[in-house]
């Protein structure tokens, strides 16, 4: 494997970025970590429309690995940042740099509604969902979905901003709070709550290879997120679940993905979401596998040919 110039976009002190940088450096690559906020672009019209991207290491990289996506405090600020960053990554791809995951797949994965549309279009089971833009419509959606739902931020992770709606009063309080805080930008992503046996599963796909864990909710808690007190357990997923995870990741277009699956009351499995910038710290602890090394080995491979 020839030496490559690799840039990891993320926080230099972050666990994933620093571990992945060390693993790639140990494999002989030239590796740097660039914080997102250092990115900038220029266009010198007087010099023949010469395009410039900074930092220079990013502009010269053969490979960029996306780690994390910090955002602004308001939906509007965050949206501006995401649009600029994805556009810049797309420009780098046009100039011959490989980006993992691709800008387009990140755009899809970041938007829960768009990602779920892609996943459903691939023929996979997903929770019944409504996306509306005012409090009255949110109440109607809650009623239509059976009166036990989740209100989720359209953009977000780790269970942040997740609210369970079990009554009309819950809907009113949640939409009023979300609106006043502008935490959801006036868009309400409402999803039918799927009763579960106290756990769901995360399958991390690195290319075609899967690492899996079961996330068990803390006592008295319905959220299974590790950040909400959930416990990671070893889990050997059925082949059907691995197949669903691979199909969901392919629908979103990700090469490395965290796919969240939940058993359904009828004995099936539904896809909750696909994370395009997944973490694997808890998975390494639960499985004992060196997932960082697997990621490093994968990203240094030549890009697969289309089709």
Instruction: Give the model confidence (pLDDT) of 189-247 as tens digits.
Output: 999 999 888 899 999 999 999 999 999 888 877 877 777 778 888 899 999 999 999 99
Between residues 93 and 43, which one has the greater pLDDT?
93
Tell whether the model's pLDDT for residue 181 goes beyond 80.
no
Q: Beta strand pairing status for 129-132 and 269-275?
A: unpaired
Are 89 and 99 spatial neighbours (Cβ–Cβ below 8 Å)?
yes
Instruction: List pLDDT tens digits, range 6-16.
Output: 999 999 999 99
Tell whether the model's pLDDT for residue 179 goes beyond 90.
no
Q: What percent of the chain has pLDDT over 70?
A: 90
Lowest mean pLDDT among 32-36, 69-73, 92-96: 69-73
What was the pLDDT predicted at 112? Answer: 92
pLDDT-based confidence at 178, cuts 50/70/90?
A: low
Tell whether the model's pLDDT for residue 114 goes beyond 80.
yes
Between residues 259 and 47, which one has the greater pLDDT?
259
Are 235 and 259 spatial neighbours (Cβ–Cβ below 8 Å)?
no
What was the pLDDT predicted at 222? Answer: 80
Between residues 152 and 75, which one has the greater pLDDT?
152
What was the pLDDT predicted at 237? Answer: 94
What was the pLDDT predicted at 158? Answer: 57
Mean pLDDT of the region 92-101: 96
What was the pLDDT predicted at 156? Answer: 63
pLDDT-based confidence at 160, cuts 50/70/90?
A: low
Highest mean pLDDT, choosing among 37-46, 84-93, 150-159, 189-198 = 84-93
Tell whether the model's pLDDT for residue 285 goes beyond 70.
yes
Q: Beta strand pairing status for 231-234 and 209-216?
A: antiparallel
Determine what percent of the chain falls in helix, strand and coil, rounding each to the nearest 5: 40, 25, 35
Between residues 185 and 40, which one has the greater pLDDT?
40
What was the pLDDT predicted at 219? Answer: 83
Sorted by where each starts, the structural domains of the chain and their CATH numbers stand as 5-100 (3.40.50.20), 109-125+195-289 (3.30.470.20), 129-192 (3.30.1490.20)
- pTM of the full structure: 0.91
Helix 103-110 × helix 75-94 angle, to 10°: 160
Mean pLDDT of the region 78-82: 83
Mean pLDDT of the region 46-61: 86
The full DSSP string for 121-141 is HTT-----EEEESSHHHHHHH
Are 143 and 172 spatial neighbours (Cβ–Cβ below 8 Å)?
no
Mean pLDDT of the region 104-120: 95
What was the pLDDT predicted at 153? Answer: 80
What was the pLDDT predicted at 307? Answer: 44
What does the alpha-carbon distance between residue 251 and residue 125 come to, in Å, rounded to a whole number?
13
Backbone phi, then psi, for 305, in 5-degree steps? -75, 145
């Amino acid at each position: 494997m020839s030496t490559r110039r690799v840039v990891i976009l993320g926080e230099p002190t972050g666990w994933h970025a620093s571990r992945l940088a060390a693993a790639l450096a140990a494999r002989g690559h030239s590796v740097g970590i660039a914080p997102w906020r250092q990115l900038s672009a220029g266009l010198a019209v007087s010099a023949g429309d010469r395009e410039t991207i900074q930092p220079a290491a990013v502009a010269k990289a053969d490979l960029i690995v996306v780690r994390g996506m910090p955002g602004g405090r308001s939906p509007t600020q965050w949206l501006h940042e995401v649009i600029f960053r994805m556009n810049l990554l797309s420009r780098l791809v046009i100039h011959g740099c490989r980006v993992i995951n691709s800008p387009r797949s990140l755009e899809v994965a970041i938007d829960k509604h768009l990602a779920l549309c892609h996943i459903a279009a691939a023929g996979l089971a997903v929770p019944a969902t409504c996306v509306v833009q005012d409090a009255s419509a949110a109440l109607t959606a809650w009623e239509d979905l059976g009166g036990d739902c989740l209100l989720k931020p359209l953009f977000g992770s780790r269970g942040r901003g997740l609210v369970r709606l079990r009554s009309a009063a819950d809907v009113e309080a949640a939409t009023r709070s979300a609106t006043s805080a502008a935490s959801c930008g006036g868009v309400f992503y409402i999803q039918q709550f799927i009763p579960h046996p106290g756990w769901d599963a995360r399958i991390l796909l690195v290319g075609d290879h899967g690492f899996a864990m079961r996330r068990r909710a803390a006592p008295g808690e319905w959220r299974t997120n590790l950040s909400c007190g959930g416990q990671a357990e070893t889990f050997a997923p059925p082949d059907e679940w691995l197949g669903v995870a691979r199909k969901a990741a392919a629908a979103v277009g990700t090469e490395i993905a965290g796919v969240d699956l939940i058993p359904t009351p009828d004995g099936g499995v539904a896809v909750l979401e696909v994370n395009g910038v997944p973490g694997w710290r808890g998975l390494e602890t639960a499985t004992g596998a060196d997932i960082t090394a697997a990621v490093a080995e994968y990203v240094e491979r030549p890009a697969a040919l289309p089709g």
